[in-house]
Amino acid sequence: MQKKLVVLFILVLLAFVGLSYRLFAITRDNGGQYKKQVLSQQKYDSLTLPYKRGSILDANGSILASSEKVYNVILDAVAVSEKEEYLEPTLEALRSQIGIDTSSVRSYIAANGETSRYYVLAKRQEYEQIQGLMELISEEESLVKGVWFEEEYKRSYPGGSLACDVIGFTTNDNVGSYGLEEYYNDVLSGTPGREYGYLNDDANLERTTIPAEDGNSIVTTIDANIQSIVEKYLKKFDEEYRNNRHEGNGANNTGCIIMDVNSGEVLAMASYPTFDLNDVRNLDALIGMRLLDAEGKKTEEYINEENLSTLGEDPNVMYQNLNALWKNFCISDTYEPGSVSKPFTVAAGIESGSITGNESYYCEGELHVGDHDIACHNTYGDGYLTVTEGIERSCNVNMMYVAMATGVNTFTEFQHIFNIGLKTNIDLAGEARTASLIYTKDTMRVTDLATNSFGQGYNATMIQMMAGFCSLINGGYYYEPHMVKKIVSPSGATVQNIEPRLLKQTISETTSARIREMCNQVVASENGTGKTARPAGYMIGGKTGTAETLPRGNNEYVVSFMGYAPADDPQIAIYVVVDRANNWPQDDAKYATRIVRNILTEVLPYLGIFMTEELSEKEIAELEELQIEIMTPPEPEETGEEGSDGESGQEGAGEGAEGTGTQEGAPEEKSEPWKEFPIDPATGYAVDPSTGDYVDPITGFVYGSSFDGGETETSGENTGEEGNTGEGGTEGNT
């Protein structure tokens, strides 16, 4: 029995020795091959699954931004090197199907065939580009080996530059930058998935997949059709004035906002220059802009084809200039608003009871305040003007009297009520806050009060002014401006409706009605400064504005028009700002009013708003040329000019605070000598025979004695605080 056990033990021992030798031989002779198979399973069977970023849609469902699946072509050099017969078919497939340089791939495989399993041959290929290669690989007994495809998503913007400042863009790692892409990054982003591979007890490959969760989409308030109209006319303005007075764009910046006055929804927001969202780093888009240095300060140069190539030499310079291109002028840039602030001044006075709105003030071309003589835009003087006429003609002296009646405490309180200096919290990345650029009751002096009354000495953004202005003319209701009205899941279900958010009531409905009456006269009256903003067939209201930029006396201006339509029942508000037009004179609000007229001529019929005014033959021809339907009401009604005399409301109220300049029984005759000046046929401006100065034939504003870019006569002495360093300044034209 013992002998049998010994024999059995020896046999078992020999079997273990033989097995050990066989394992050693396999490791020695075939270890590399098995190692490749194990590593191959590890690579292919543990993958990150990308998520699809949510889309951005306009109010009508048109796609503004979407994500498309693309493929990276990956080479596994080890797999290709397993057999010699794999190499040539694989290289030929890469050459014929996707145009790969086979010589470089051959060299790479020769150098890295034992180690490299991940080498990117081509990035972000669309399915149509790699379809043929996929089919070759999937054929039975195919010798094309070691090529696989890594999925990811590429952001696409079908509109190119459409609403570029609003939408923003994404970086290579799918993170939003600027605009809606940045503000709603968490909403648009999803969660990556994961696919795990492992061998079970039978050495079979098992898979566990955690699917990716796609991001939600957002439906914006932007109407792509209105946005296109706005951008068309901003571009047309640039084409008209580009390289006119100096090399560069038609203006340093041109911006436009169109907003629903009764909800705060932004229907369009655009600025010029623009850039292609599908190619955001294309430096050609910078041509015509003011060149910035490495610290972001403006130089005297403008970017052209000659100096464009030098931008890449210093990454800081290139970034500063690209950042200036990418940021949204309508919410990020600050400036002194000029006379568009005058309705705010009057509204504060009437709402606080400081004035009734029925007062008359005498303008002799300037007013002595503190230690300064502050000029009106009309240096000839307007004579006696009612408050309504002060808005209509944009009289600085009239507004200074109103502000003095209101007082520092009340004036600064209402600036805060109108949200001037504060963020509106619009849902876009990059909004500026200008609290440090406005006065408080403790810092405002009497001269500051006077100049603030007509928009000098403090800074604001376009969106601040627009949101406050909507409350002036909609009954006093201040809505938080917003760009998105709905968040939608990948399946199409509504995740969240974003309703209009009413924050406060700035003024009463009675005061709001008075402000509308006054602003209507700016466009409707013979002496109104905004007549050129009226589109054919419609009556609108609004206010023009002009502000001289810093340093004072540089003859560079920001001009604007802020208005609404229709005049009797405002539905939309529009604000156009032209920052230093490339022309002379710059201080002419017609740059802005003509853009407004062009935009509204197309937008109002598109919105289904009917015409109320009689059309001239010239206007009919203009509309026919634009192929715009004449939107006359189905049942015409007789309509009169509401509040044409601007004297209705709050009759019998107080006669004005002490020192306001109110004078009872003021004569109605007004001195308007400029209306007798001869007209220069070449420019359309009146010419003062005694000085040779060019004068606006309607407002009496003096532009200067030549159109050759020489010095112009400024409208008054600068009295603003030097600490307020934004873009803006002395009120010039209306």
Which H helix or E strand runs over 236? helix 224-241
Helix axes 342-351, 462-473, angle to 10 degrees: 50
pLDDT score at 584: 87
The region of weakest confidence among 137-146, 165-174, 282-291 is 137-146
CATH of the domain at 567: 3.40.710.10
CB 264 within 8 A of CB 480: yes
Query: Which one-letter amino acid corresponds to residue 618?
Result: K
Which H helix or E strand runs over 169? strand 169-170
Which tokens sit at 175? 């993170």
Check: pTM over 0.85? Answer yes or no.
no
Cα–Cα dist 688/686, whole Å: 7
The mean pLDDT value of the chain amounts to: 86
Which whole number is the average pLDDT over 222-244?
97
Which whole number is the average pLDDT over 408-437?
95
pLDDT score at 70: 93
Map tokens 């002194």 to a residue. 336
**With 60 as the cut, is the pLDDT of residue 41 above it?**
no
CB 537 within 8 A of CB 513: no
pLDDT score at 506: 98
Which whole number is the average pLDDT over 628-632?
83
Which whole number is the average pLDDT over 664-690?
66
Same-domain status, 504 and 628: yes
Confidence of residue 30 (pLDDT cuts 50, 70, 90): low
Which of 220, 252, 284 is the C-terminal boundary of a domain? 220
pLDDT score at 31: 62
Which whole number is the average pLDDT over 444-456?
95
**With 90 as the cut, is the pLDDT of residue 5 above it?**
no
Q: What is the largest CA-CA distance in the chain?
A: 144
Taking CA 21 as the corner, what is the angle to CA 17 and CA 23, rounded to the nearest 5 degrees?
120
Which whole number is the average pLDDT over 234-246?
95
H-type alpha helices, 572-717: 590-606, 617-625
Which tokens sit at 342? 């005058």
Confidence of residue 669 (pLDDT cuts 50, 70, 90): low
Confidence of residue 314 (pLDDT cuts 50, 70, 90): confident
Long-range contacts of 384-387 (CB under 8 A, 24+ apart): 384/360, 384/663, 384/666, 384/667, 384/668, 384/670, 385/360, 385/361, 385/670, 386/358, 386/359, 386/360, 386/646, 386/647, 387/346, 387/355, 387/357, 387/358, 387/359, 387/360, 387/361, 387/518, 387/646
Sign of the torsion formed by the C-alpha atoms of 646, 651, 652 and 656: negative
Cα–Cα dist 506/647, whole Å: 22
Map tokens 């009146």 to a residue. 686
CATH of the domain at 76: 3.90.1310.10
Confidence of residue 202 (pLDDT cuts 50, 70, 90): low
Query: Which one-letter amino acid corresponds to residue 164?
Result: C
pLDDT score at 542: 98
Has residue 392 been placed in a domain? yes
Which tokens sit at 224? 């792509």
The residue ranking higher by pLDDT, 381 or 419, is 419
Which whole number is the average pLDDT over 129-140?
90
Has residue 64 been placed in a domain? yes
Same-domain status, 439 and 577: yes
The residue ranking higher by pLDDT, 449 or 647, is 449
Which of 220, 239, 270 is the C-terminal boundary of a domain? 220
Collapsed DSSP state (helix, strand, coil) of residue 721:
coil
**With 80 as the cut, is the pLDDT of residue 274 above it?**
yes
pLDDT score at 534: 96
- In this structure, the number of other CB atoms found within 10 A of the CB of residue 482 comes to 22
**With 50 as the cut, is the pLDDT of residue 660 above it?**
no
Query: Which one-letter amino acid corresponds to residue 592?
Result: A
The residue ranking higher by pLDDT, 341 or 49, is 341
Which of 163, 187, 220 is the C-terminal boundary of a domain? 220
Cα–Cα dist 462/335, whole Å: 9
pLDDT score at 538: 96
Cα–Cα dist 150/49, whole Å: 9
Strand partners of residue 67:
155
- The conformation of residue 611, written as its DSSP 8-state character, comes to P
The residue ranking higher by pLDDT, 92 or 643, is 92
Which whole number is the average pLDDT over 560-571?
97
Which whole number is the average pLDDT over 292-313?
90
Within 13 Å of residue 137, how many CA atoms lie on the same side as its CB?
Answer: 18
pLDDT score at 685: 73
**With 70 as the cut, is the pLDDT of residue 246 above it?**
yes
Has residue 84 been placed in a domain? yes
**With 70 as the cut, is the pLDDT of residue 719 above it?**
no
End-to-end CA gap in the chain: 123
The region of weakest confidence among 248-262, 265-279, 289-303 is 289-303
**With 60 as the cut, is the pLDDT of residue 728 above it?**
no
**With 80 as the cut, is the pLDDT of residue 651 above it?**
no
Confidence of residue 33 (pLDDT cuts 50, 70, 90): low
Has residue 24 been placed in a domain? no
Has residue 233 been placed in a domain? no
**With 60 as the cut, is the pLDDT of residue 199 above it?**
no
Which whole number is the average pLDDT over 358-382?
91
**With 70 as the cut, is the pLDDT of residue 219 above it?**
yes
Cα–Cα dist 121/137, whole Å: 16
Taking CA 355 as the corner, what is the angle to CA 349 and CA 360, rounded to the nearest 5 degrees?
115
pLDDT score at 332: 96
**With 90 as the cut, is the pLDDT of residue 340 above it?**
yes
Which whole number is the average pLDDT over 107-113?
89
**With 80 as the cut, is the pLDDT of residue 717 above it?**
no
CB 270 within 8 A of CB 227: yes
Which whole number is the average pLDDT over 132-137?
91
Task: Dump pLDDT digits (tens) for 84-101.
Answer: 899 999 999 999 999 988
Which whole number is the average pLDDT over 379-400?
94
Confidence of residue 268 (pLDDT cuts 50, 70, 90): very high
Same-domain status, 343 and 214: no
Same-domain status, 522 and 386: yes
The region of weakest confidence among 65-74, 174-183, 698-707 is 698-707
pLDDT score at 276: 97
Has residue 303 been placed in a domain? no
- Residues of the chain with pLDDT > 90, as a percent, come to 63
Which tokens sit at 70? 């693309």
**With 80 as the cut, is the pLDDT of residue 654 above it?**
no
CB 400 within 8 A of CB 374: yes
pLDDT score at 725: 35
Same-domain status, 490 and 629: yes
Count of domains observed in the chain: 2
Has residue 341 been placed in a domain? yes
Confidence of residue 191 (pLDDT cuts 50, 70, 90): very high
The residue ranking higher by pLDDT, 381 or 721, is 381
| Domain, as residue range, for 123 | 47-220
pLDDT score at 548: 86
Which whole number is the average pLDDT over 525-554?
92
CB 529 within 8 A of CB 522: yes
Has residue 730 been placed in a domain? no
Confidence of residue 640 (pLDDT cuts 50, 70, 90): very low
**With 50 as the cut, is the pLDDT of residue 308 above it?**
yes
Collapsed DSSP state (helix, strand, coil) of residue 732:
coil
